[in-house]
Amino acid sequence: MYAKVMALEFYSKRTMAFFALVIALSCFAYGALLLLTVERAAQSAKAQASIQSLSQEVATLQSQYLALTQNLTPALAAQLGFVMPSQSAVAEVFTQPQNALTLNSNGSF
């Protein structure tokens, strides 16, 4: 009977040590994940601020582009070195498909 009590006491100490280790590792993992979450939130706020400033910059550049393109005339374009495209360089766009790839009634292309 004494041997059984000693064996039980030995295993209970091991079990307690194991659970203490599991709890310590869980606390460490919780702390690490909590710090990562806070870091991600900080990065998200920084990214939002960067996105906002870049959006404002893009809006400014778009307005400048539109102001400059309204001043562009064919004579100014020719003076800047632009040339009229040749007829063969212009692609034709059809509203209805021409020679479209379809299946014939016999199942071939």
Domain count, the chain: 1
- pTM equals 0.44
User: Tens digit of pLDDT for each residue in 15-74?
Assistant: 889 999 999 999 999 999 999 999 999 999 999 999 999 999 999 999 998 888 888 788
Separation of alpha carbons 12 and 18, rounded Å: 10
50 occurs within a structural domain: yes
* pLDDT number for residue 38: 95
Give residue 62's domain range.
23-69
CB neighbourhood size of 42 (10 A): 10
43 occurs within a structural domain: yes
74 occurs within a structural domain: no
Residue with tokens 């404002």: 56
108 occurs within a structural domain: no
55 occurs within a structural domain: yes
